[in-house]
């Protein structure tokens, strides 16, 4: 067992090398050895996935051997594809080795076992299918797919690692790969998926054996809470990020999320409050305007729309919003006439 | 575009022109055209791969096919081609043939780089698609591969399309439709290459069950044909309701399915009626026929098949078994909205239909001869009614009777086993074998049959029979010019051999004799199979008969 643990530590290094220029020196033999290792890791995954204690041990050792815990136990199962595709994309791989790689990834008929051992033909087909189905204009399938993978990963983490502390930097690093509006969209989609109870599905686990999915379901509910917690800490941890999030998402989606996550609704209301307080009343135009033309704030119309959406949410959210607005109105002097306090006007707009 | 298989020359230029014409398949015409050519293109790619796989190095390949790079490159950008069946595999193999492990010159170096870029384009992130780079970095950071990503992406897109279609179904009464017919049509075209991709199954089913507001068909015909093809070749499996929906809305598919069934049954040597029934049941046609429209169309196709094959016994057997299975299904249905029989046989004499539809096991065996007599009388009355005896009408009555061949077989059996009035039975069987009577052929047949029957009945109780005793009857079989008489007499003779005590001993010899000399081995085989099937279900008491039957079948099976 000790030997196995030491071997497993090598996985991150193997993947790192396969993406680096070090492959320049690889020949066919080295490549075959690397692919052998990948198959071996996959074999370990199959052997141990139904045995929780050994799973945990392997997962822990794997995590400790990386600066950022990118890979967990399930990554062992995906190893051949991870390695194969990484090598395919690595331009430094010399032609001879690359040819061996191609024969390994796409064995021609007659050679090798089965027609599509690495599932690459299926991958190419699915990629084409995604392009075909995208020809019909429709809702953003991409965001949903990315969100599901994110959730899957978070859940895997939730099962493997007890320490949530180590996860935030990893999450941050991953989300940094996307431009901010997109990252916000993905996180929003992920948060929206969680209450809909997609906890039974383990995203990304390429072999959905009965053992793993059953184990996954138990931890599903707990894992979901954990995942939500992590996403919210990422979101609320940075004020600038949070306000960018609230600016780029549509008000209905924000209201939906606020209805399900109380931390979110509080922070959101606080943010709306700070934006609202910066509006000034222009008596000449007879309406509320921004005090400075800073894009990173809401206009009166947008603010109103946000509050209306919030008041169309579940009862708790509605009450919370109403209470907040009333408190603010009272603080401002409890006026019942327009043009004196933005909160009075808002309360009138939302119908209270 | 027919590819001559004997000539190894590949029609390269044709496909290159096509690939250029299609581009990335962004217009409706190019999309439809690609869909029409998908399977031929796959075949071509396969042949191309076979031609280049043994060549030594990409330089040789390019010498033989200078434009191969252009062709493969363009095809890689056509998602219809990549999404289809196994084309992506063959295409990638061809690309690998252009990759060299030791590039000797600039061309080979360039080819290597180009092959890798194309493979990355197909499998992971493409340097030519700007929006893929961010996603792929994110996915990697999560520790996943493009395989995981595209798996989820396709599933999600399918789910959202299915939801959209289903929601629109229930809003059917809204004036403001949320999906336009052209959108649904477009979706159906984009699905054509993907029909055998398992992820798409929910979308296929939803599309096939989708009914928009208009009476015109909104699904593209390419889609409907391709789904039917895939279903008939057993590349996909669909729930029954979906298959019925497909056949109801697309007549050519139903026709193809029926013809496919006939081909299947006629091409394999089937040794028992149970096997035939199995194949027919698998085709789902008897079940689909619970829709009267489908039932009637299938029957029309059967009628044409009968005409074309001149009433061969195998086609008749298919029709008879099909009808039996249909009736079984129809009678077992508990649906409140079961169609009445009249819906299936609208132009026929309903009392006759009602009689024919009774399964033999529903009546006590003692009642069988009376039942047959009633049938015979009714048919005679209809046929001899001078007001209604055009040739078409005659054919329709004949076809109706032929569908329920079980009663005819029982009738022939009853002649020898029970004390019946022979004339109506003989008339009915004569009508079956010889329906036309312009030159008194049928009347003549009846007379002949009566003679044969009397002769056989005389010999019925003889214990010790020899072939010579039956010579007169056998000669009628062989000597007669009219083939309908031949079949009729063979039927009587075979039954005699099976059911008379003395006939057992000479049965093998006699049948061998007949089938050697005439062309009736298939008919005899068929008759024996049908009889065996009836014995299995109604239980023949005489064990010797059963044994003899099995022996005869075995011998005949080896010969046929």
Burial of B33-46, coded b for 16+ CB within 10 Å and e otherwise, reads bbbebbebbbebbb
Pair (B58, B26) in one structural domain: yes
* Highest mean pLDDT out of A189-198, A231-240, B291-300: B291-300
Domains of chain B: total? 4
- Round to whole Å and give the CA distance between B16 and B232: 31
Average pLDDT rounded to a whole number, residues B208-233: 90
| pLDDT given at position B558 | 66
Interatomic CA distance for residues A31 and A83, integer angstroms: 10
Average pLDDT taken over every residue of chain B: 86
Residue of A nearest to B155 (CA): A145
pLDDT at residue B170, as a whole number:
61
Residue B3 lies in a domain: no
Same-domain check for residues B311 and B411: no
Q: What is the 3-state secondary structure (H, E, C) of B71-91?
A: HHHHHHCCHHHHHCCCHHHHH
Task: Tell whether B379 and B311 lie within a shared domain.
Answer: no
Q: Is residue B140 part of a domain?
A: no
Q: How far apart are CA B560 and CA B556, in angstroms?
A: 6
What's the maximum distance between 2 C-alpha atoms anywhere in chain B? 97
Beta carbons of B82 and A179 less than 8 Å apart: no
Contact at CB, B143 and A75, closer than 8 angstroms: yes
A289 dihedral zone (left: phi>0; alpha: psi -120 to 50; beta):
beta
Question: Which has the minimum average pLDDT: A13-27, A229-243, B515-529?
Answer: B515-529
Q: Å from A84 to nearest chain B CA?
A: 10
Contacts of B261 (CB under 8 A, 6+ apart): B279, B280, B283, B285, B318
For residue B223, what pLDDT band results from cuts at 50, 70 and 90? very high
Burial B365-388 (b: 16+ CB within 10 A, else e): eeebbebbbebbebbeebbeeeee
Chain B residues closer than 8 Å to A126 by CB: 150-151, 153-154, 197, 199
B423 and B536, same domain (yes or no): yes
For position B557, what pLDDT does the model report?
A: 72
Give per-residue pLDDT as tens, B89-128: 999 999 999 999 999 889 899 999 999 999 999 998 777 7
Query: Phi, psi at residue B285, to the nearest 5°?
Result: -70, -40
Contact B38, B79 (CB under 8 A): no
B440 in the same domain as B474 = yes
- Kindly state whether residue B137 falls inside one of the protein's structural domains: no
Segment among A346-350, B212-216, B270-274 with least mean pLDDT: B212-216
A293-328 in b/e form (b: 16+ CB < 10 A) is eeeebbebeebbbbbbbbbebeeebbebbbebbeeb
**B208 pLDDT more than 60:** yes
To 5 degrees, how large is the angle CA B272–CA B274–CA B275?
Answer: 70
Is B112 part of the contact surface with chain A (CB cutoff 8 Å)? Answer: yes
Instruction: Give a yes or no: residue B530 inside a domain.
Output: yes
Q: Is B336 exposed, middle or buried (0-12, 13-18, 19+ CB in 10 A)?
A: exposed
- Average pLDDT of the residues in B475-492: 73
Q: Under an 8 A CB cutoff, do A121 and B101 touch? A: no
The pLDDT value recorded for residue A212 is: 37
What span, in angstroms and rounded, lies between the C-alpha atoms of A350 and A322? 9
8 Å CB contact of B143 and A96: no
Do residues B159 and B59 share a domain?
A: no
pLDDT at B9: 65
What's the token pair of residue A196? 């809909």
Question: Which strand (E) or helix (H) includes residue A290?
Answer: strand A287-290
Contact criterion met (CB below 8 Å) for A95 and B101: yes
Chain length of chain A: 352
Residue A279 pairs in a beta bridge with A290
B72 interface with A at CB cutoff 8 Å: no
What pLDDT is stored for residue B88 in this prediction? 93
How much is the average pLDDT of A93-110? 88
Instruction: For this complex, say whether ipTM is above 0.90.
Output: no
Positive or negative: CA dihedral B162, B167, B171, B176: negative
Q: Which of B374, B447, B454, B450 is nearest to B407 (CA)?
A: B374
Q: Does B516 reside within a domain?
A: yes
- Going by C-alpha positions, the residue among A319, A326, A323 that lies closest to residue A343 is A326
Q: What is the pLDDT of residues B27-39, one digit of tens each?
A: 889 999 999 999 9
Tokens of B246: 């497909």
Find residues 156-175 of chain B whose CB sits inside 8 Å of chain A: 156-158, 160-161, 164
User: Which pLDDT value is given to residue B178?
Assistant: 59
CB contact under 8 A, B145 and A120: no
Collect all residues of chain A within an 8 Å Cβ-Cβ radius of residue B139: 146, 149
Burial class of A335 by CB neighbour count within 10 A (0 to 12, 13 to 18, 19+): middle
How many whole angstroms separate alpha carbon B204 and alpha carbon B198?
Answer: 10
From the CA of A331, how many Å to the nearest CA of chain B? Answer: 46
Range scoring the smallest mean pLDDT among A186-190, B84-88, B168-172: B168-172
Residue with tokens 């050994």: A54
pLDDT of residue A210: 34
The answer to whether residues B165 and B206 touch, using CB atoms and an 8 Å cutoff, is: yes
Report the alpha-carbon distance of residue B491 to residue B499 in Å, rounded: 12
- Indicate the DSSP class of residue B500: S
Rounded-to-integer distance, Cα A264 and Cα A231, Å: 11
In this model, does residue B388 exceed pLDDT 70?
no
Residue A341 Cα distances to A293, A320, A325, A327, A338, angstroms: 20, 20, 11, 12, 7
Whole-number Cα distances in Å, B405 to B11, B316, B325, B440: 52, 8, 13, 24
Q: Do A132 and B193 touch (CB under 8 A)?
A: yes
Q: Which of B283, B310, B334 is the last residue of a domain?
A: B334
Higher pLDDT, B443 or B518: B443
State the sign of the Cα–Cα–Cα–Cα dihedral A149, A192, A222, A64: positive
**How many DSSP H helices and E strands does chain A contain?**
18, 2
pLDDT at position A107 is 82
- State the pLDDT confidence band at B196, using cuts at 50, 70 and 90: very high
CA A205 to chain centre: 16
Same domain, B434 and B520: yes
In this predicted structure, what is the pLDDT of residue B401? Answer: 92
| Residues B298 and B423 both lie in one domain | no
- For residue B391, being part of any structural domain is answered with yes
Closest residue of A to B98, CA-based?
Answer: A99
User: Tokens representing A177?
Assistant: 């790969």
Residues B480 and B389 in one domain: yes
Q: Is A131 left (phi over 0), alpha (psi -120 to 50) or beta?
A: alpha
Alpha carbon B96 to its chain centroid, in Å, reads 40
Of B205, B222, B249, the domain-final residue: B249
Q: Is there a domain that residue B409 lies in? A: yes
pLDDT band at B182 (very low <50, low <70, confident <90, very high): confident
DSSP string, A49-80: TT-HHHHHHHHHHHHHTSSS----HHHHHTHH
Query: Which of B277, B300, B334 lies at the terminal end of a domain, its last residue?
Result: B334
CA distances (Å), B489 to each of B185, B443, B477, B504, in order? 58, 15, 6, 18
From B172, B173, B208, select the one nearest B187 (Cα to Cα): B208
Mean pLDDT of B402-419: 86
Q: B335 to each of A205, B59, B338, B549, how far by Cα in Å?
A: 44, 69, 6, 40
**Position of tokens 């996985």?**
A11
- Give SS3 for A279: strand
pLDDT at residue A127 above 60? yes
Cα–Cα distance between B210 and A299 in angstroms, integer?
A: 45
Interchain contact, B146 vs A123, CB within 8 Å? yes
Residue A54: its pLDDT value, please? 86
The answer as to whether B59 is a domain residue is yes
- Residues of chain B in contact with residue A145, where contact means CB-CB under 8 angstroms, are 149, 152-153, 156
Instruction: Give the rounded percent of residues in chain B with a pLDDT score beyond 70.
Output: 92
Alpha-carbon gap: A159 to the closest alpha carbon of chain B (Å): 16
pLDDT tens digits, B324-356 = 999 988 888 766 678 888 899 988 888 999 999
- Of B135 and B303, the one with more pLDDT: B303
CB-based contacts of A259, cutoff 8 Å, min separation 6:
A265, A313, A314, A316, A317
CB–CB contact B199 A116 (8 Å) = no
* Three-state secondary-structure class, residue A281: strand
Percentage of chain A exceeding pLDDT 90: 26
Q: What is the mean pLDDT of residues B478-497?
A: 77
The distance from CA B559 to its chain's CA centroid, rounded to whole angstroms, is 27
* Structure-token pair, residue B452: 């044969």
**Interchain contact B475–A (C-beta under 8 A):** no
Residue in B with minimal Cα distance to A131: B79
Count of C-beta atoms within a 10 Å radius of residue A35: 20
pLDDT given at position B71: 94
* Contact: B148, A78; criterion CB under 8 Å: yes
State the residue range of the domain holding B67: 12-123
What average pLDDT does range B516-526 have in this prediction?
Answer: 80
CA distances in angstroms from B24 to B28, B41, B93, B132, listed in the order given: 11, 16, 21, 18
- Whether residues B314 and B213 share a domain: the answer is no
CB contact B460 to A (< 8 Å)? no
Nearest Cα neighbor of B62 from B23, B90, B20, B104 is B104
The yes-or-no verdict on residue B551 having pLDDT over 90 is no
Cβ of A127 within 8 Å of Cβ of B82? The answer is yes
CA distance B501 to B463: 6
**How buried is residue B457: exposed, middle or buried, by Cβ count under 10 Å (0-12/13-18/19+)?**
middle
Number of cross-chain residue pairs from A and B with Cβ atoms under 8 Å apart: 193
With a cut of 50, say whether residue A113 has pLDDT above it. Answer: no
Mean of the pLDDT values across residues A2-30? 90
Does residue B204 contact residue B191 with C-beta atoms inside 8 Å? yes
Report which of B90, B266, B341 is spatially closest to residue A106, judged by C-alpha positions: B90
Instruction: Give residue-wise pLDDT tens across range A203-255.
Output: 434 333 333 333 333 445 666 777 888 889 889 888 889 989 998 899 999 99
Helix (H, G, I), strand (E, B) or coil at A282: strand
pLDDT, tens digit, 9 for 90 and up, residues B422-449: 888 989 999 998 888 877 888 888 888 8
% of chain A residues with pLDDT over 70: 86
User: Would you state the pLDDT for residue A201?
Assistant: 44
Q: Is the pLDDT score of B239 beyond 90?
A: yes
What average pLDDT does range B133-147 have in this prediction? 86
Q: Is B138 close to A144, i.e. CB distance below 8 A? A: no
Q: What is the pLDDT of residues A55-89, one digit of tens each?
A: 888 888 888 888 776 788 888 888 999 999 999 99
Average pLDDT of chain A to the nearest whole number:
83
- Residue by residue, DSSP assigns B102-147 as S--SHHHHHHHHHHHHHHHHHHS--TT-HHHHHHHHHHHHTT--HH
Q: pLDDT tier at B478 (50, 70, 90 boundaries)?
A: low
B302 & B450 share domain: no
Over residues A284-317, the pLDDT tens digits come to: 888 888 887 766 778 888 899 999 999 998 899 9
Identify whether residues B231 and B261 lie together within a single domain: no
Instruction: Say if residues B357 and B301 touch (Cβ distance below 8 Å).
Output: no
Q: How many CB atoms sit inside 10 A of residue A243's CB?
A: 17
CA distance B260 to chain A (A): 29
Tell me which of B98, B114, B125, B152 to substitute to probe the interface with A (most A C-beta atoms closer than 10 Å).
B152
Instruction: Report helix, strand or coil for A197.
Output: coil
* DSSP state, residue A280: E
């Amino acid at each position: 067992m000790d030997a196995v643990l030491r071997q497993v530590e090598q996985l991150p290094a193997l993947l790192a090398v396969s993406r680096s220029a070090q492959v320049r020196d690889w020949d066919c033999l080295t490549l075959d050895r690397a692919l052998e290792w990948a198959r071996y890791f996959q074999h370990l995954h199959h052997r141990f996935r139904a045995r929780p204690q050994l799973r945990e041990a392997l997962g822990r050792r794997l995590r400790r051997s990386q600066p950022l815990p990118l890979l967990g136990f399930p990554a062992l199962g995906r190893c051949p594809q991870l390695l194969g595709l990484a090598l395919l994309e690595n331009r430094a791989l010399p032609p001879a080795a690359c040819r061996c790689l191609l024969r390994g990834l796409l064995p021609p008929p007659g050679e090798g076992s089965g027609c599509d051992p690495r599932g690459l033909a299926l991958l190419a087909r699915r990629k084409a299918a995604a392009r075909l189905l995208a020809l019909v204009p429709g809702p953003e399938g991409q965001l949903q797919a990315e969100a599901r993978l994110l959730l899957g990963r978070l859940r895997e983490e939730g099962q493997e690692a007890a320490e949530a502390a180590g996860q935030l930097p990893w999450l941050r690093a991953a989300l940094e790969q996307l431009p901010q509006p997109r990252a916000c969209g993905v996180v929003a989609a992920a948060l929206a998926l969680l209450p809909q109870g997609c906890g039974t599905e383990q995203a990304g686990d390429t072999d959905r054996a009965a053992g793993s999915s059953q184990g996954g379901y138990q931890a599903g509910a707990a894992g979901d809470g954990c995942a939500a917690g992590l996403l919210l800490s990422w979101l609320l941890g940075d004020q600038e990020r949070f306000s960018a999030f609230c600016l780029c998402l549509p008000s209905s989606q924000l209201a939906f999320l606020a209805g399900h996550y109380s931390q979110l609704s509080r922070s959101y209301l606080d943010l709306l409050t700070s934006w609202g307080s910066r509006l000034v009343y222009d008596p000449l135009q007879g309406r509320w305007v921004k005090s400075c033309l800073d894009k990173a704030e809401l206009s009166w119309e947008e603010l109103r729309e946000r509050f209306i959406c919030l008041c169309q949410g579940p009862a708790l959210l509605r009450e919370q919003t109403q209470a907040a607005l009333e408190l603010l109105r009272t603080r401002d002097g409890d006026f019942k006439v327009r043009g004196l306090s933005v909160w009075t006007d808002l309360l009138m707009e939302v119908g209270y | 575009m027919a590819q001559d298989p004997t000539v190894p020359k590949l029609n390269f230029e044709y496909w290159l022109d096509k690939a250029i014409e299609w581009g990335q398949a962004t217009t409706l015409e190019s999309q439809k055209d690609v869909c029409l050519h998908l399977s031929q293109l796959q075949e071509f790619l396969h042949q191309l791969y076979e031609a280049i796989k043994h060549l030594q190095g990409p330089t040789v390949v390019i010498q033989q096919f200078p434009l191969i790079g252009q062709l493969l490159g363009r095809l890689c950008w056509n998602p219809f081609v990549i999404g289809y069946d196994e084309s992506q595999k063959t295409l990638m193999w061809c690309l690998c043939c252009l990759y060299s492990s030791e590039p000797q010159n600039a061309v080979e170096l360039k080819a290597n780089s180009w092959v890798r870029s194309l493979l990355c384009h197909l499998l992971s992130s493409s340097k030519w698609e700007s929006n893929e780079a961010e996603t792929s970095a994110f996915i990697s950071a999560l520790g996943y591969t493009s395989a995981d990503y595209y798996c989820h992406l396709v599933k999600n897109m399918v789910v959202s399309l299915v939801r959209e279609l289903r929601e629109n179904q229930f809003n059917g009464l809204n004036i403001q439709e949320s999906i336009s017919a052209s959108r649904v049509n477009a979706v159906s075209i984009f699905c054509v290459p993907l029909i055998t991709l398992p992820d798409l199954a929910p979308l296929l089913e939803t599309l096939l069950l989708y009914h928009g507001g208009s009476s015109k068909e909104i699904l593209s015909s390419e889609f409907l044909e391709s789904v039917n093809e895939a279903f008939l070749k057993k590349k996909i499996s669909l729930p029954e309701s979906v298959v019925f929906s497909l056949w109801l809305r697309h007549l050519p598919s139903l026709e193809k399915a029926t013809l496919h069934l006939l081909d299947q049954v006629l091409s394999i040597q089937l040794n028992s009626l149970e096997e035939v029934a199995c194949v027919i049941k698998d085709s789902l046609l008897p079940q689909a026929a619970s829709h009267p429209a489908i039932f009637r169309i299938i029957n029309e196709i059967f009628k044409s098949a009968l005409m074309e094959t001149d009433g061969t016994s195998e086609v008749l057997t298919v029709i008879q078994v099909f009808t039996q299975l249909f009736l079984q299904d129809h009678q077992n249905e508990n649906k409140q909205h079961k169609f009445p029989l009249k819906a299936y046989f609208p132009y026929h004499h309903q009392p006759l239909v009602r009689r024919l539809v009774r399964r033999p096991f529903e009546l006590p065996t003692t009642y069988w001869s009376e039942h047959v007599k009633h049938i015979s009388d009714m048919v005679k009355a209809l046929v001899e009614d001078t007001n209604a005896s055009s040739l078409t009408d005659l054919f329709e009555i004949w076809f109706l009777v032929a569908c329920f061949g079980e009663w005819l077989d029982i009738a022939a059996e009853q002649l020898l086993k029970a004390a019946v009035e022979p004339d109506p039975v003989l008339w009915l069987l004569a009508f079956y074998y010889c329906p036309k009577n312009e030159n008194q052929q049928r009347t003549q047949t009846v007379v002949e049959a009566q003679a044969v029957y009397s002769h056989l009945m005389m010999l019925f109780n003889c214990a010790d029979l020899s072939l010579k005793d039956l010579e007169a009857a056998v000669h009628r079989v062989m000597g007669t010019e009219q083939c309908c008489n031949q079949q009729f007499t063979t039927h009587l003779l075979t039954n005699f051999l099976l059911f008379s005590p003395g006939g057992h001993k000479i049965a093998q010899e006699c049948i061998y004799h007949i089938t050697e000399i005439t062309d009736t081995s298939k008919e005899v085989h068929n008759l024996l199979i049908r009889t065996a099937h009836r014995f299995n279900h109604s239980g023949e008491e005489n064990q010797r008969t059963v044994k003899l039957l099995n022996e005869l079948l075995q011998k005949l099976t080896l010969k046929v």
